[in-house]
């Protein structure tokens, strides 16, 4: 049984993307998977998807309380249903790990990143997130870290030897059609792309400023995503984009539309101040895109060439790197080399195998206790 996430498919967010890739592969390996989803995000009529069962439970509309209260209800539901393993995602929901253990459940917690570093949270919320990390990692039967940075953090702060199982990526076939580009009036290989939720830690305003400074005539900036709660930062980004005809905000896109924008972009940029292991960056690499990223540890874990990183918040440096990246179009051979590299390092089937083995090991331990 799985909790700590909004739901999937077609729900934006790194944890949700991670889960939508991982659990169908675990079903193929023989697991029975039930995901406890939040009613505000998960489709009411979607009871099953790719062999995964869903249970919708109520959650409040409050951003600060949504994850914790929903996970509390999910743990009570799990205590009643008695799954062999309860898999809890992220440090906020992980504050309920001790409750799950008190209920006699075997718990695996996946740490997707120190969410208390996100700019949107106040002091109380950050305290709850820190406590979630502390008690979740220490009380879980097993802890998974999605990057080496997070694994080291757990070892140094909490004395926990977490299993390192990263995010992954599926290598797509490259599209030959581009109807979505016509819809947004952008040209193939002549736009810069950012795909993310529009929240402060993604630093859209840094990219907008750098784009305006950069001398790249004929290029556009395409921002894909939205804020689930439509907060003031999203309004700031939309207002900044509205006054510049070369900046396009698409809102949230899925499926073929998003696929086409990835496929035909010229450059991908991730200017964020906080990540776990950035799935959007891995997806961009899976399309063979030249990618630029801020120099935060989680982005550097991906392993881009050093010249493709820029100092966080340094819009002058980013503008220069945009000029350099836009001036050089990768050959098909260079794009395929990028795709092969990311496939070797971030392969979902291998990630599913590692997760499955961890679950099996914990299940065998549970059986020995009876």
Would you say 162 and 111 are in contact if contact means Cβ atoms under 8 Å apart?
yes
Q: Which fold has domain 179-345?
A: Rossmann fold (3.40.50)
Instruction: Please name which of 60, 145, 131 lies closest in space to residue 97, comparing C-alpha atoms.
Output: 131
Q: Which helix (H) or strand (E) holds 368?
A: helix 348-368
The proportion of the chain whose per-residue pLDDT surpasses 90, expressed as a percent, equals 84
Walk across the sheet containing 309-310 and list its strands: 247-251, 220-224, 191-195, 267-270, 290-294, 309-310
Instruction: Please name which of 141, 160, 47 lies closest in space to residue 101, comparing C-alpha atoms.
Output: 141
CATH 3.40.50.2000 residue ranges for the chain:
2-168+347-364, 179-345
Query: Cβ atoms within 10 A of the Cβ of 69, count?
Result: 17
d(CA 152, CA 68): 25
d(CA 313, CA 33): 41
Q: Which fold has domain 2-168+347-364?
A: Rossmann fold (3.40.50)
d(CA 327, CA 319): 12
The 10s digit of each residue's pLDDT in 170-193 is 899 886 788 999 999 999 999 999
For residue 370, the model assigns a pLDDT of 47
Q: Kindly indicate the confidence band of residue 367, based on its pLDDT and cuts at 50, 70 and 90.
A: low
348 pLDDT exceeds 90?
yes
What predicted TM-score, i.e. pTM, was given to this entire model? 0.85
Place of tokens 């080496």: 148
Q: Kindly indicate the confidence band of residue 198, based on its pLDDT and cuts at 50, 70 and 90.
A: very high
Would you say 313 and 290 are in contact if contact means Cβ atoms under 8 Å apart?
no
Place of tokens 């059609």: 177
For residue 208, the model assigns a pLDDT of 98
The proportion of the chain whose per-residue pLDDT surpasses 70, expressed as a percent, equals 98
124 pLDDT exceeds 60?
yes
């Amino acid at each position: 049984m799985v909790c700590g996430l909004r739901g999937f498919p077609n729900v934006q967010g790194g944890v949700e993307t991670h889960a939508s890739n991982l659990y169908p592969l675990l079903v193929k390996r023989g697991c029975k998977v039930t995901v406890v989803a939040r009613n505000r995000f998960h489709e009411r009529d979607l009871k099953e998807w790719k062999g995964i069962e869903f249970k919708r439970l109520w959650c409040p509309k409050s951003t600060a309380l949504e994850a914790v209260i929903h996970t509390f209800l999910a743990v009570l539901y799990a205590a009643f249903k008695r799954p062999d393993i309860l898999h809890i995602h992220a440090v906020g929901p992980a504050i309920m790990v001790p409750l799950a253990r008190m209920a006699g459940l075997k718990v695996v917690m996946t740490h997707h990143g120190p969410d208390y570093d996100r700019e949107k949270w106040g002091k109380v919320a950050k305290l709850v997130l820190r406590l979630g990390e502390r008690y979740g990692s220490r009380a879980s039967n097993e802890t998974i870290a999605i990057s080496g940075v997070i694994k080291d953090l757990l070892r140094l702060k909490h004395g926990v030897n977490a299993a390192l199982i990263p995010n992954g990526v599926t290598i797509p076939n490259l599209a030959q059609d581009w109807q979505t580009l016509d819809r947004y009036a952008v040209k193939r290989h002549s736009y810069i792309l950012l795909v993310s939720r529009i929240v402060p830690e993604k630093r859209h305003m840094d990219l907008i400023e750098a784009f305006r400074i950069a001398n790249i005539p004929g290029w556009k900036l395409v921002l894909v995503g939205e804020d689930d709660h439509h907060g003031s930062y999203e309004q700031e980004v939309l207002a900044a984009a509205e006054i510049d005809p070369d900046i396009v905000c698409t809102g949230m896109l899925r499926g073929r539309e998003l696929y086409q924008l990835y496929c035909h972009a010229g450059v991908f940029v991730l200017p964020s101040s906080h990540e776990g292991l950035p799935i959007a960056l891995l997806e961009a690499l899976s399309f063979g895109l030249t990618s630029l990223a801020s120099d935060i540890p989680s982005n550097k874990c991906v392993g881009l060439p050093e010249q493709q990183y820029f100092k966080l918040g340094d819009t002058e440096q980013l503008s220069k790197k945009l000029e350099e990246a836009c001036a050089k179009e990768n050959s098909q051979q260079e794009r395929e080399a990028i795709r092969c590299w990311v496939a070797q390092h971030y392969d979902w089937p291998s990630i599913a195998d590692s997760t499955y083995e961890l679950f099996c090991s914990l299940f065998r331990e549970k059986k020995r206790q009876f």
